[in-house]
Amino acid sequence: MDFLFAGDRDILKELGSRVRRARLEMNISQLKFALQAGVAIGVVQNFEAGKACSLKSFIRMLRVTHNLANLALLVPEPLPSPIEVAKMSGKQRRRAGAAKINKDNL
C-alpha cells in the first residue's frame, strides 16, 4: 500500500491488518495479545478492525509484535542544517600534534 496517497481510514485499516497478521503469525489470541501489550481487548479488536487507537496503545502493540524499532523510520532524526555543518567544520581537527617526549623514560 502506498501510504502517501491513501486516506486516513485506509491507512488505519492497513495498519490494523498488519498488526492482526503479526499477531496471528505469533499464534496468540486477541486476549493474550492485549494482556501482553497492556491494553484492553477492545483496543486490539477495534484496531484490527481499522479503527483508531491512542499512540500509546499502538506503541505497546508494536512492542509485542517486535516492530517497535520500525517506529524510528516514521520520524527520522533531523539532519544538521548547512549553517550548523559549516560552523562545526571549522572546529574539526585537521592534523595530529607532535608526540610529547618524556625525558625520564630516555
- Confidence (pLDDT) at 34: 98
The one-character DSSP state at 105 is G
Domains of the chain: 8-75 (1.10.260.40)
Instruction: Give the C-alpha separation, 21 to 17, whole Å.
Output: 6
- Confidence (pLDDT) at 14: 96
Instruction: Give the list of residues 6+ apart from residue 70 with CB closer than 8 angstroms, or none.
Output: 62
- Confidence (pLDDT) at 40: 98
Walk along the chain (106 residues) in steps of 10 and give the mean pLDDT of each run: 90 96 97 98 97 96 94 84 74 68 66
